């Protein structure tokens, strides 16, 4: 882990899912990138084992998002892939681009919900090699 200024990261990874939580993560990461001039890497991945994955963004939407951010003058890279494990893909991407910040969207979970369902955000937080910011959508 490099000792960069925590308030001025050079590369931010945003874990994106096509829902309010993913959008909250993008919004925050976008704000950080804009303020610090950091590079922004957006990861939107799916295990691809179901026919339809609502959290996997449509091609046109991801392209629109990329164009909007590029239009704002940000250095953006988008990873839109089918991977064996989504959390691992986010962590691996962060390591690969040498990110100094990862942003994930988290949802409120009941204790039982936590028990039953593994959370991608939780695994990113635990496994990432750099600081992770967990954001919640404005309710």
Partner 1 sequence: MDLLLDGFATALTPENLLFATIGVLLGTAVGVLPGIGPAMTLALLLPVTYSVGADSAIIMFAGIYYGGMYGGSTTSILLNTPGESSSVITAIEGNKMAKAGRAAQALATAAIGSFVAGTIATVLLWIVTPQVADIVVTLGSPSYFALMVLALFAVTAVLGSSRLRGFIALFLGLAVGLVGTSTGQARLTFGEPLLADGIDIVVVAVALFAIGEALWVAAHMRRKPLEIIPVGQPWMSKEDWKRSWKPWLRGTAFGFPFGALPAGGAELPTFLSYATEKKLTKHPEEFGHGAIEGVAGPEAANNASAAGTLVPLLALGLPTTATAAIMLVALQGYGFQTGPTLMDDHPDLVWALLASLFVANTLLLIINLPMAPIWAKLLRIPRPYLYAGILFFASLGAYSVNFQAFDLALLLVLGVLGFFMRRFGIPVLPLIIGVILGPALEEQLTTALKISEGDVSTLWSEPVAVVVYAVMALLLVAMAVTGVRKPAAEEPSLSDTPGNNDDKELVER
Of 58 and 129, CB closest to partner 1? 58
CB proximity list for 81: less than 8 A, separation 6 or greater = 45, 46, 89
54 part of the interface to partner 1, by CB under 8 A: yes
Work out how close the CB of 19 gets to partner 1 at its nearest, in angstroms, rounded to a whole number: 13
Indicate the pairing of strand 101-105 with strand 11-15: parallel
Which position among 17, 56, 87, 130 is part of the footprint of partner 1 (CB under 8 A)?
56
Which three-class secondary structure state does DSSP give residue 23? helix
Q: How many CB atoms lie within 10 A of CB 33?
A: 24
Which position among 8, 31, 58, 63 is part of the footprint of partner 1 (CB under 8 A)?
58
Q: Which of residues 67-86 bind partner 1 (CB under 8 A)?
A: 82, 84
Neighbour-count burial of 27, counting CB atoms closer than 10 A to its CB (0-12 exposed, 13-18 middle, 19+ buried) = middle
Work out how close the CB of 101 gets to partner 1 at its nearest, in angstroms, rounded to a whole number: 28
Query: Is residue 41 a contact partner of residue 93, using CB atoms and an 8 Å limit?
Result: yes
Work out how close the CB of 127 gets to partner 1 at its nearest, in angstroms, rounded to a whole number: 21
| Rg of the chain (C-alpha set) | 14
Stretch that binds partner 1, among 40-48, 65-73, 93-101, 105-113 (CB under 8 A): 40-48
Please, which residues bridge with residue 98 across strands?
none
Which position among 59, 71, 108, 110 is part of the footprint of partner 1 (CB under 8 A)?
59
| Residue ranges in contact with partner 1 by CB under 8 A | 46-54, 56, 58-59, 82, 84
């Amino acid at each position: 882990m490099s000792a960069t200024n925590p308030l001025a990261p050079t590369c931010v990874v945003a874990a994106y899912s096509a829902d309010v939580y993913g959008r909250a993560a993008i919004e925050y990461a976008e704000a950080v990138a804009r303020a610090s001039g950091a590079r922004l890497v957006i990861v939107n991945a799916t295990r691809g084992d179901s026919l339809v994955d609502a959290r996997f963004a449509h091609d046109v939407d991801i392209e629109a998002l990329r164009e909007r951010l590029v239009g704002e003058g940000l250095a953006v890279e988008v990873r839109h892939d089918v991977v064996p494990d989504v959390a691992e893909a986010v962590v691996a991407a962060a390591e690969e681009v040498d990110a100094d910040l990862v942003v994930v969207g988290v949802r409120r979970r009941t204790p039982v919900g936590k028990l039953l369902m593994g959370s991608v955000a939780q695994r990113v937080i635990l496994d990432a090699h750099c600081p992770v910011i967990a954001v919640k959508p404005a309710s």
